Structure 1
Amino acid sequence: MSQTCSFCHIVAIPDAHNLRSTRVAELLRQNGPPLEAETPSLLAAVRDAPASLSAIDEEIKETRKTLEKLLRERERVKLYASDGTTLLHPIRALSNDIFYEIFSWCVSDWQDIMTAPQGPQDSLDPRRPPWTFTRVSRRWRDVALSLPRLWSTIVFDTYRYKEFRVA
């Protein structure tokens, strides 16, 4: 009796020893010849095996093609869903005015710069706003470059750039 997977209900493939009849298994354990009555069925099995194997191999080949096609289709559907999720993200619907407001809150005004406890932040640091806004996307870059408030105050540490000083 064949066993069935309890999860997917696919019939399990028995191991090769269980595929043999008990008589064949018995004959293989000893060194004697089969009975005369058994010889015709054994010859037929040997004779028909190449055609049967060829048919099975062809079916396996077709099944693999179907599997590969389904896997490609699965990847296409996953990609389409991922693209849809990205394209429908709410941040894409924000107006430029919202970005102007958000970006404006990320840069300090002159009063904050001069009274900062850690000292003035270098405006030329590409890891800080407004430079970081320009590297997110083309839209963010366009919005950031069109907002004069982001670029109206320049502060840099002259000691940090002392190798560029002209004597």
Structure 2
Amino acid sequence: MSLADSPFVDRLNTNYVPSDSEILEIRALLVDPADELAKLDAQIEEMEITLSQLKKMRASVKAPIDAHRALISPMRHIPLDVLQEIFLSCLPTEHNALIDPAETPLLLGRICRHWRSVSYSTPMLWSSIHIPSLNYGSSPPTLLSKLERLVGAWLERSATCSLSVSLSDSTQHSNSHIETHPLISQLLPMSPRIRHLKLSGDAHFLQPLLQLGAEDLPVLSSIWIQPIASMIFDAHPEARNVSRYQLWRTYPCVFSSGLIHFHFH
């Protein structure tokens, strides 16, 4: 008997409690359908094994096909200078490039070996950088070391290009064990190439960079400063407007000969 003709159809999906005799009857009804289900399961398992084998065979055939197709890919035959221009057009325009593996330029180096070689040897791709906020008083040393290595490699790839640099740092001198900021120390040798500079952080750590003179920053054209603890206002708490002399004493870089834009927040 098919279960579709079962005398218990009206009792299905209810709270009905069958009697002992009905339980025996139900068990008898399930024998043939259960055997059929087992046969179907066996067939499905056999087909799944076959399907798995076919997928493996397909993958082994497809891999060399894809590899050969890659050889004739139009992208592979784009001239180097055109590819570099495409890469440069992928850079952000509203802010400096981020140290983010999902963003240009780091993303380009993750596509393939050729793109990595091209991107790493195109200095203009690395001519801007935003250094994110990490607290040297609380962040794990391994994370800080990794950031320093990334910044060092980034600046090295920029070769002799002029730089646009932004740094946002939350480390406070009073709450940290460091006297000089490692990231600021990395930027100091780059000062002759810095064209745009945006800094936010503890004035104590920013001081070595901001006290550079015009001769140290020959191409500087814009600077944006947001000190956490301003040396100017520590010395002159009575006034938000300081004299040109006071500003020069604190931030000589403000009077770089090529400076066009200056913003002090």
Q: TM-score, normalised by structure 2?
A: 0.30
- Higher-Rg structure is 1
Higher strand share: 2
Higher helix share: 1
The structure whose RCO (Cα within 8 Å, separation 6+) is larger is 1
